[in-house]
Structure 1
Amino acid sequence: MCGIVGVVSTAPVNQLIYDALLLLQHRGQDAAGIVTQQERKFYMHKAKGMVRDVFRTRNMRALPGNIGLGQVRYPTAGNAASEEEAQPFYVNAPFGIVMVHNGNLTNAKQLRAELADTDHRHTNTDSDSEVLLNVLAHELARATSGAPLKSVDVFKAVRAVHKRVRGSYAVIALIAGYGLLAFRDPYGIRPLCIGHGADGSVMLGSESVALEGNLYTLERDVAPGEAVYIGLDGKVQAEQCAEKSSLHPCIFEYVYLARPDSVMDGISVYQARLNLGESLAKRVISTVPPSEIDVIIPIPESSRPSAMQLAQLLGLPYREGFVKNRYVGRTFIMPGQGARKKSVRQKLNA
């Protein structure tokens, strides 16, 4: 569960990607990274920590170019302590590819063995994102057979990736000298949307708030199994690349992970949380007499809309039972139970 963003523009994108990552900081606090491209050369900076701490003025100056991508990391696979596992990841063949990934691969162990024994590709970390990057790189090499890259090759490669990879994955990749590729797993488990700026530039991001906060117009969500390819000229091509696709988004996005002001797959996250409060009201009435309940208290922040709806439907007082220290980050996505328990003590006070 990470936050990813990609931009194709006619102007420098480093500040734009930085601002988008700030808007997605709630999706990952462990590490952050940005890569840009200028004249076929990649410029990258990534490190452990929050966006504001990772990127200083000198780092931003060293990220030139009108196309790029970024990620904020919440480690669900691999080593949370490893700086090497911060994204984006890079491979130099074919073409040169950098990639950011939000999700989890369930067959990463099998794929890692295939990469080593059959594809003859080396992975150097425990990250499933590096596995996914190498699978994509291998399939792009097979699709092109040494020829220059065409959009038909890109979609052919993504179709092959869908056949090999299992799990959740929303991906944005930058192919040196060609453009930006984004795709989503056939079940649409992790979110990804696309929008346009007033100048015709294109942005992809995990949540609509990343686009709207930068004055981009949300166009639509990338469909489950779909691949979107944007050339350096800004031309957008899209194709369904999964043999079977159906929308089964992760419910945890709506319960906790996403910002309430985001819209995912046409569903308002805030409205979804109100609906959860409604469902909870029916469950409570069937198990506990409302007369035995004193007050409804949320554990801030994610549960607040649900708690308000529950209190209204049961006709009970809504009260704040916990005061939140806003200077402590999200505790669920902190690496390790020890860090989470300590941070909860610092964050919430009755």
Structure 2
Amino acid sequence: MLDKLNEECGVFGVYNHPHAPSLTYYGIHALQHRGQESAGIVASDGEKFSHHKGMGLVTEAFANDALEKLHGNRSIGHVRYTTAGESKLENAQPLIFKYKLGTLALAHNGNLVNAAQIKRHLERQGSIFQTTSDTEVIAHLIARSGYEELEDAVKEALSMIKGAYALLIMTEKKMIAALDPNGLRPLSMAKMGDGYFFSSETCAFDVVGAEYEREVEPGEMVIIDENGMRSMRFSQQTQRSICSFEYIYFARPDSNIDGINVHQSRKELGKKLAREILIEADVITGVPDSSISAAIGYAEASGIPYELGLIKNRYVGRTFIQPNQELRAKGVRMKLSAVRKVVEGKRVVMIDDSIVRGTTSGRIVTMLREAGAKEVHVLISSPPVMNPCFYGIDTSTREELIAAKKSVEEMREFIGADSLYFLSVEGMVEAIGREDDAPNQGHCLACFTGKYPTEIYEDTVNCNEK
């Protein structure tokens, strides 16, 4: 949707498979929902690298037989949505660097909260940065390390950075996967024969035919080379704080995160919403696509029938992913349409997963009324988003978040609904059902509560406010 949190990025890696570049292409294509601005793949045959990056969707970036130029039995790929740095080809990942031990490629999902401080320090010492992406900071730290072994240099670099990172690092001979100590982003591994696979989401394993093995754990590095796979900890101070919106909105419904199916978790969010707020209505509908599961769950728990009251136009061009202001005002009708025969004369409960600015919600409410809905009640399967994210999700500044400025009643008036309700934080955590001993049940709740799992630096806040 036009008024949603934007996905972060997606990473996919293959080690020891003869068709690694092709499988990586299919892998990042399965992760397309996580980033639509650029895509790239770096491959290695054990001696040299081949690579290709391009702007746009995966199919656009790899048009004109670009994939055929990639060779090797190991590769890493990336789809990007801009969260740090500008949207331009230089920032497209994986990033590739020459350094004292050879060639290094990095693919990064997440955002570093101390990147600006480290970059200033490195520049004072003579480092020259080629991109505006915070991922390049990691490469510089690895390259400047005094250690001769890659895993030791990576471990040292990771001890200096803070924030969210699901990382894939590849040299001519090795591949390393690493997850930040809070596990803010998902990262899983799988196998196919003697080959190893890594992905931001398990749905990509299903596409390429790899068998899921396990999650990469917070504070863990997984190293793969000709001697096989081994694991080491680069941090002992870990506490899982996975982004709650992976379950609510970002991840594909057929993905599993920490053993929890995303579709099922969204259904449970809808059921919990029905238990907290039960509206007398004639029909339930969800805002496509991410809210459909929650709407089905609400319908099951409430006994009110679920119907496709809103239909998504799947052939809208990519322009509408990030429209300019003029197009944004009209874009909802290009993206969605109401089914008059479903909503006409009905009391409609519209389930959505979140409200960011509120503009799109208001336009959908208006659309349903114009299609003849007698009442429109808006229920949100997450708590109000009141704080910006500094970990790789493009939330707006606090000033642009409607829930940070208005009460629920003021928001209801703004979007023109007959009623507006949000799921409670406690209800959300309980519905997702993560079994974790931590007080937050293994969730990052910062955008709801303002309690961030890491220190937040002033430069990071200032960057978000620009």
Give the total of aligned pairs: 330
Residues 216-236 of structure 1: CA distance to partner in whole angstroms, max 9, x if unpaired? 0000010011001110x2611
Equivalent positions of 1:105-144 (< 5 A) are 105-118=112-125, 120-138=126-144, 141-144=145-148
Contact persistence 2:275–2:301 (CA under 8 A): no
Distance 1:337 1:126 in 2: 25
Paired residue for 1:312? Answer: 300
The change in CA–CA distance for 1:215 and 1:337 in structure 2 (over 3 A counts) is farther
Partner letter of residue 113 of structure 2? T
The change in CA–CA distance for 1:129 and 1:70 in structure 2 (over 3 A counts) is same
Partner letter of residue 146 of structure 2? R
1:345 to 325, 333, 343: 333
Paired residue for 1:99? Answer: 106
Distance 1:266 1:255 in 2: 15
Contact persistence 1:171–1:183 (CA under 8 A): yes
Paired residue for 2:346? Answer: none
| Corresponding residue SS for 2:235 | coil
1:64 paired with 2:64, answer no
Q: Which moved more, 1:259-268 or 1:317-326?
A: 317-326
Paired residue for 1:196? Answer: 191
* TM-score for the superposition, normalised by structure 1: 0.88
Alpha-carbon offset, residue 330 of structure 1: 8.4
| Corresponding residue SS for 1:142 | coil
Partner letter of residue 90 of structure 1? I
The change in CA–CA distance for 1:311 and 1:211 in structure 2 (over 3 A counts) is same
5+ residue gaps in structure 1?
Answer: none
Residues 294-336 of structure 1: CA distance to partner in whole angstroms, max 9, x if unpaired? 3222001111111111122122122222110122378996476
- Quick one: percent identity of the two aligned structures? 38
Contact persistence 1:194–1:220 (CA under 8 A): yes
Contact persistence 1:162–1:186 (CA under 8 A): no
Alpha-carbon offset, residue 239 of structure 1: 1.1
Equivalent positions of 1:205-244 (< 5 A) are 205-231=199-225, 233=226, 235-244=228-237
| Corresponding residue SS for 1:70 | strand
Paired residue for 2:155? Answer: 159
Residues 144-178 of structure 1: CA distance to partner in whole angstroms, max 9, x if unpaired? 2xxxx3xxx50x334323331111100001123x2
Paired residue for 1:52? Answer: 59
| Corresponding residue SS for 1:194 | strand
Alpha-carbon offset, residue 72 of structure 1: 0.8
5+ residue gaps in structure 2?
Answer: 1-7, 339-466
Paired residue for 1:4? Answer: 11
Equivalent positions of 1:3-82 (< 5 A) are 3-56=10-63, 58-80=65-87, 82=88
The change in CA–CA distance for 1:32 and 1:227 in structure 2 (over 3 A counts) is same
Partner letter of residue 130 of structure 1? E
Distance 2:113 2:253 in 1: 28
Distance 1:275 1:43 in 2: 45
The change in CA–CA distance for 1:84 and 1:230 in structure 2 (over 3 A counts) is same
The change in CA–CA distance for 1:249 and 1:339 in structure 2 (over 3 A counts) is farther
**Larger Rg, first or second structure (1 or 2):** 2
| Corresponding residue SS for 1:168 | coil
Distance 2:53 2:330 in 1: 27
Partner letter of residue 316 of structure 1? I
Paired residue for 2:365? Answer: none
Residues 243-293 of structure 1: CA distance to partner in whole angstroms, max 9, x if unpaired? 3012111011111110011011121111211121122113213xxxx33x3
Partner letter of residue 295 of structure 1? V
Distance 1:96 1:329 in 2: 37
Query: Which ranges of 4 or more aligned residues in structure 1 deviate by more than 4 Å?
Result: 329-333, 335-343
| Corresponding residue SS for 1:44 | strand
| Corresponding residue SS for 1:96 | strand
* TM-score for the superposition, normalised by structure 2: 0.67
2:168 to 167, 172, 177: 172
1:298 paired with 2:286, answer yes
Contact persistence 2:320–2:331 (CA under 8 A): no
Contact persistence 1:191–1:207 (CA under 8 A): yes
Paired residue for 1:183? Answer: 178
Distance 2:67 2:329 in 1: 35
| Corresponding residue SS for 1:261 | coil
Q: Which moved more, 1:314-323 or 1:335-344?
A: 335-344
Distance 2:316 2:29 in 1: 16
Q: CA RMSD in A?
A: 2.1
Distance 2:231 2:210 in 1: 19
Q: Which moved more, 1:249-258 or 1:234-243?
A: 234-243
Contact persistence 1:74–1:333 (CA under 8 A): no
